[in-house]
């Protein structure tokens, strides 16, 4: 079981380094589409948590939001809520009330593959939300939350319950739980090598020689 301390400690890394490490390990399909970005423009933003995935299905009918409300009440602490629509519904998959409920339940962020609204309320909460676009439209008559705590497809990645989601100002990465220990170990070496390369460059050392030594650039 991955601990809250491990999740917090993981934020010393950054998504490009995690992405490069996944590539080196041959673990593919873990970086969400570049369209999914933070609505908080802080370049220092970093969040890490366990995935709590939810599925939204397009519809033209006015489906009650009972499942959505039940999902909010079921959010576990230290989680990142991932809301994935089967297809774009041109409506908000996330908003201010959902952020308030998720924050109170102990979630650390939300990631959605569609619209987000209520920017003022979300900013006031300080709750990190990653999405594809801003949209004022309500989900009713456009889509409905069909199920949660199940495996979904979001931003071109597969997200299973309790996978590790790491996101920052660069984008969003999914680390399958079964690979987390291996990725974390590799990242410790990668971070040291990249830091040494950066320090050498700052001192005016040869980029070619630094690459020969650390294999980082």
Looking at residue 1, its pLDDT comes to: 80
Q: Across residues 123-143, what is the average pLDDT?
A: 97
Alpha-carbon span 159 to 154, nearest angstrom:
7
Q: Left if phi > 0, otherwise alpha if psi is -120 to 50, otherwise beta: which for 151?
A: beta
Looking at residue 20, its pLDDT comes to: 95
Q: What is the mean pLDDT of the chain?
A: 96
Residue 125 lies in a domain: yes
Query: Does residue 135 register a pLDDT over 90?
Result: yes
Residue 182 lies in a domain: no
Does residue 90 contact residue 115 with C-beta atoms inside 8 Å? Answer: yes
Q: Across residues 159-184, what is the average pLDDT?
A: 97
- Predicted confidence band at 29 (pLDDT cuts at 50, 70, 90)? very high
Looking at residue 216, its pLDDT comes to: 84
Residue 209 lies in a domain: no
Query: Does residue 215 register a pLDDT over 90?
Result: no
Residue 100 lies in a domain: yes
Residue 126 lies in a domain: yes
Q: What angle do CA 177, 116, 162 make, to 5 degrees?
A: 10
Element (H, E) at 64: none
Q: What is the CATH number of the domain that holds 141?
A: 3.50.30.40
Residue 168 lies in a domain: yes
Determine the structural domain holding residue 23 and report its residue range.
Answer: 4-176
Q: Across residues 129-156, what is the average pLDDT?
A: 98
pLDDT over 70, % of the chain: 100
Task: Tell me which residue has tokens 């962020």.
Answer: 109
Two tokens, residue 69: 């409300």
Two tokens, residue 109: 């962020």
Residue 211 lies in a domain: no
Residue 86 lies in a domain: yes
Two tokens, residue 9: 């400690």
Taking the alpha carbons at both ends of the chain, their separation in whole angstroms is 33
Number of structural domains (the chain) is: 1
CA 176 from centroid of its chain's CA atoms: 12
Query: Does residue 131 register a pLDDT over 90?
Result: yes
Alpha-carbon span 161 to 94, nearest angstrom:
19
């Amino acid at each position: 079981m991955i601990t809250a301390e491990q999740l917090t400690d993981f934020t010393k890394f950054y998504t490009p380094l995690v992405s490069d490490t996944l590539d080196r390990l041959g673990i593919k399909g873990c970086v969400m589409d570049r369209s999914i970005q933070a609505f908080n423009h802080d370049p220092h933003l970093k969040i890490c948590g366990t995935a709590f995935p939810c599925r939204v299905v397009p519809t033209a009918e006015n489906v009650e939001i009972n499942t959505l409300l039940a999902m909010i009440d079921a959010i576990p602490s230290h989680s990142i809520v991932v809301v994935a629509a089967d297809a774009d519904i041109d409506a908000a998959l996330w908003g201010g009330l959902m952020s308030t409920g998720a924050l109170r339940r102990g979630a650390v962020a939300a990631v959605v593959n569609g619209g987000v609204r209520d920017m003022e309320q979300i900013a006031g909460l300080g709750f990190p939300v990653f999405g594809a676009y801003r949209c004022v439209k309500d989900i009713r008559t456009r889509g409905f939350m069909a199920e949660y705590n199940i495996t979904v497809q979001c931003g071109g990645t597969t997200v299973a319950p309790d996978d590790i989601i790491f996101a920052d100002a660069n984008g969003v990465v999914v680390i399958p739980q079964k690979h987390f220990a291996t990725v974390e170990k590799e990242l410790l070496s990668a971070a040291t090598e990249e830091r040494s390369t950066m320090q050498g460059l700052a001192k005016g050392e040869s980029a070619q020689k630094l690459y020969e030594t650390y294999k980082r650039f």
